[in-house]
Amino acid sequence: MYHKILVTVDLNDPASYELALPQAIELAKASAGELHLLTVVPDMGMPLVEGFFPAGYEEQALDAAKKKLDSLARERLPADTPHEQHIALGNITQRVIEAVEETGADLVVMASHDPDFAQNFLVGSHAGKVVRRSPVSVLVVRA
């Protein structure tokens, strides 16, 4: 089955892990696999925007994300679940794909909200982009 399962976590949206994380835990248990929890802190996107934030903002955001992810892992993962935690900065889809390659994941588990045609048409969902670009299978759990 799956030996390394990458689970994407949006720390600002509990729906991103409330349903997806239990699914990933069950898959990992069934196959004696390990979990890789990934949260991505979006970057500013443009140097112009970055100028409006205080110096060191990205480092502070990464530190805060690490603390939240540590807390989430302690609260939600059974003690006997092998796992690693990963924090990334940048484009969410790109960082997920990079994490698949870096961790050797053979499955990505992520949540997605009910599709909103207008939003997906204009922006596109992160889950949809990962599904299209991922070199491995992606389990999208409807949140």
Tens-binned pLDDT, residue by residue, of the chain (143 aa): 899 999 999 998 898 899 899 999 999 999 999 999 999 998 766 555 566 666 777 888 899 999 999 999 999 999 999 999 999 998 999 999 999 999 999 999 998 876 554 444 444 478 888 989 999 999 999 87
pLDDT of residue 46: 58
Number of domains within the chain: 1
Which run of H or of E encompasses 108? Answer: strand 107-112
Q: How far is CA 24 from CA 28, 48, 87, 114, 117, in A?
A: 6, 39, 18, 20, 28
Instruction: Let me know if 109 is exposed, middle or buried by CB neighbors in 10 A (0-12, 13-18, 19+).
Output: buried
Domain extent, residue 45, equals 4-142
What's CA 54's distance to the chain center, in Å? 26
78-114 residue pLDDT tens: 999 999 999 999 899 999 999 999 999 999 999 887 6
In 3-state terms, what secondary structure has residue 31? helix
The CATH number of residue 138's host domain is 3.40.50.620
Q: State the Cα angle at 84 between 100 and 111, rounded to 5°.
A: 55
User: Is-above-0.85 flag for pTM?
Assistant: yes
